[in-house]
Amino acid sequence: MNKWIFVVIIGLLLFGFAERATALEKAAPVQKEGNSGKQGNSFSFSFDESLSPPLEKAAVQELSLVDRLALRGFWDATAGADLKNDEPNEHLYDFRNVLKLEGILNSVRQGVVPTSVPTDKRWQALVSLQGDYLWMGPDHSYDDLRLRLHESSFLWATGRYEIKAGKQIIRWGKTDQVSPVDNLNPQDGRQFILRELEDRKIPIWMLRGRAFVDKLTFEGVYIPWFEPSLFDYFDSDWAVYRQVREDVKDGPLPSVLQSYLLGRRVEQREPAKTLHNSEFGGRVTATLSGWDFGLSYLYGWEDAPFFSSFPIKNLQLDGGYSSENLLDALEGAVLVDEPIRVEYRRQQIVGAEFETTAGPVGLRGEAAYFDRVSFLTDELTSVRRPVLHYVLGVDYSSPSEWYANLQWSHQIIAGSDARILYFDQHDTALLAELNQTFWRGQLKAGIKANFNIGNGSFYLQPEVELKYFKNIEVTLGANVFEGDDDSLFGLYNHNDQVFTRFKYFF
């Protein structure tokens, strides 16, 4: 209860700060010509993250602190309920509450009022705070409150060069939701893929430099220390081992075996924060005759865990590692008094990407070669294999406000074998999105789908989004998973749910 009170207080404070900033902006009007951008009642300046080089020298006018400062944020609350109660220890309900406050301070406002002193030097400081609360229940409830510094960085640019340092999210690649080239930031996987890829990204400390030369952009990234993706190992419907602890407590097992299984813990070893363990990468992008191209290289760490040791030996699961399959596989296994050992391994990635448009049709694609990727086996330990993964996509926007997006994904595992869970040597999938907007953009209805062609499993997300009220989005939808136990989507067969989402921007 105290956590809920704390989250509400933080939300009220964020709202109050935003309202105060808006009042200050109204009290100090500025001219609205040139390249100044408008967001609600506040004016802010931001840097273009596209392939285009920065603006040429422009006359500027130094403005007051109030005029150069922009405060904004959002409140994002999502509640879900399972469609059916078909597992003895599953969580029937979940609630996620995210509050974010962001402040941006710019050095100058470009192109406001011409002066006799031109300049091409500019900087931008950004600080954001985020509170993220996740609850699942009601039985053996799960709750996790995280208050942290979110994206916070300093950007300095002059002429055709810019440097950005701090905690940030950097996007590489062109495709949607499944992006083989986009590997700089770890992800929050506590709810699998229920949230959009952009919402799952975790900002990390990075240093990025870019140079713009004609139609080319050269980019270098340095990551001083490693941060893994976020997963739960136990006590969640989305955890690696699901609700196996609760199933063991309720199962007809001897007390000695129960004590052994409940005593297993995960020993996770992350790379030490040393210069030797840092990560770096580079990317070159170009725009030629309406086509955007890019080549990239990343020398880093695999964000997903590598399971080096599992305490139950001679274990071979028949299908996925659901609680039922895991308990059935105990017969004939050897129990060793040791933890589940998890570590992280080095990884090199070479990527390529492209994008273009032809009228209302957009074409894009990307491919990445991974020297090693970790896969879980039927012994609940990991093996590493080279992987080539490419995605090709097309989208279409019609005059009648229909939008369609279709993508083909093909992942090739070199030296794949039957021990690997969930993935075939040639893992192919079709991803689709179809929606239509009504009432001048105030209502949108659509569906997203991910269909695995090899094993027939799929994920569907139909939803309706209302934007009738200013700065407010209300969404009603469902998440549906279907597939066999040995498929990735089939692992979450019992997690089908309806959800509602409320998002307020300030």
Query: pLDDT at position 321, please?
Result: 61
Cis amide prior to 88 (ω within 30 degrees): no
Query: pLDDT at position 323, please?
Result: 63
Using one digit for the tens of pLDDT, what is the confidence trace for 206-259? 999 999 999 999 999 999 999 999 999 999 999 999 998 998 888 888 899 899
Residue 21 phi, psi dihedral angles, 5° rounding = -65, -40
Instruction: Give the span between the Cα atoms of 43 and 463, in whole angstroms.
Output: 33
Using one digit for the tens of pLDDT, what is the confidence trace for 343-372? 999 999 999 999 999 999 999 999 999 999
SS3 63: coil
Query: pLDDT at position 30, please?
Result: 39
Query: pLDDT at position 334, please?
Result: 93
Average confidence score pLDDT of the chain: 87
Q: 177-214 in b/e burial notation, b at 16+ Cβ within 10 A?
A: bbbbbbbbbbbbbbbbbbbeeeebbbbbebbbebebee
Distance of CA 213 to the CA centre of its chain: 31
Three-class DSSP labels, 83-148:
CCCCCCCCCCEEEEEEEEEEEEEECCEECCCCCCCEECEEEEEEEEEEEEEEEEECCCCEEEEEEE
The answer to which of 56-70, 258-272, 278-292, 306-320 has the lowest mean pLDDT is 56-70
In the block, tokens 């070199």 appear at 414
pLDDT class of 49 with cuts at 50, 70, 90: very low
Among 54, 50, 68, CA closest to 121:
54
User: Where does residue 56 rank: exposed (0-12), middle (13-18), buried (19+ CB within 10 A)?
Assistant: exposed
Instruction: Give the span between the Cα atoms of 372 and 452, in whole angstroms.
Output: 23
Query: pLDDT at position 61, please?
Result: 60
Instruction: Give the span between the Cα atoms of 202 and 49, in whole angstroms.
Output: 18
Instruction: Give the span between the Cα atoms of 205 and 496, in whole angstroms.
Output: 36
Cα separations (Å) of 231 from 44, 143, 214? 36, 14, 43
Query: pLDDT at position 322, please?
Result: 61
Rounded CA Rg of the chain: 25
Determine which helix (DSSP H) or strand (DSSP E) holds 71, and give its type and residue range. strand 69-82
User: What's the whole-model pTM score?
Assistant: 0.85
498 forms beta bridges with 81, 478
DSSP state of 214: T
CA angle, residues 175, 181, 186, in degrees to nearest 5: 105
- Of residues 35 and 296, more confidence is placed in 296
Instruction: Give the span between the Cα atoms of 157 and 102, in whole angstroms.
Output: 21
Query: pLDDT at position 66, please?
Result: 82
Instruction: Give the span between the Cα atoms of 123 and 109, in whole angstroms.
Output: 11
Q: Provide the token pair at 266.
A: 């995960």
Amino acid at the residue 42: S
Give, rounded to a whole angstrom, the gap between the first and last alpha carbons of the chain: 26
Using one digit for the tens of pLDDT, what is the confidence trace for 96-129? 999 999 999 998 754 443 433 445 789 999 999 9
Cα separations (Å) of 87 from 92, 192, 324? 9, 18, 10
**Do the beta carbons of residue 305 and residue 231 sit within 8 Å?**
yes
Name the pairing type of β-strands 266-269 and 340-343: parallel
Instruction: Give the span between the Cα atoms of 270 and 189, in whole angstroms.
Output: 18
**Do the beta carbons of residue 157 and residue 47 sit within 8 Å?**
yes
Distance of CA 401 to the CA centre of its chain: 27
Mean pLDDT of the 299-324 span: 86
Q: Provide the token pair at 327.
A: 């308990």
Using one digit for the tens of pLDDT, what is the confidence trace for 276-289? 999 999 999 999 99
Cα separations (Å) of 306 from 303, 382, 412? 9, 6, 19
**Do the beta carbons of residue 275 and residue 290 sit within 8 Å?**
no
Q: Provide the token pair at 441.
A: 């953009």
Instruction: Give the span between the Cα atoms of 17 and 66, in whole angstroms.
Output: 13
In the block, tokens 């989005």 appear at 473
**Do the beta carbons of residue 160 and residue 145 sit within 8 Å?**
no
Residue 37: is its pLDDT beyond 60?
A: no
DSSP state of 262: H
Query: pLDDT at position 119, please?
Result: 52
Name the pairing type of β-strands 340-343 and 306-309: antiparallel
Using one digit for the tens of pLDDT, what is the confidence trace for 393-421? 999 999 999 999 999 999 999 987 889 99
Instruction: Give the span between the Cα atoms of 371 and 385, in whole angstroms.
Output: 7
Contacts of 337 (CB under 8 A, 6+ apart): 260, 311
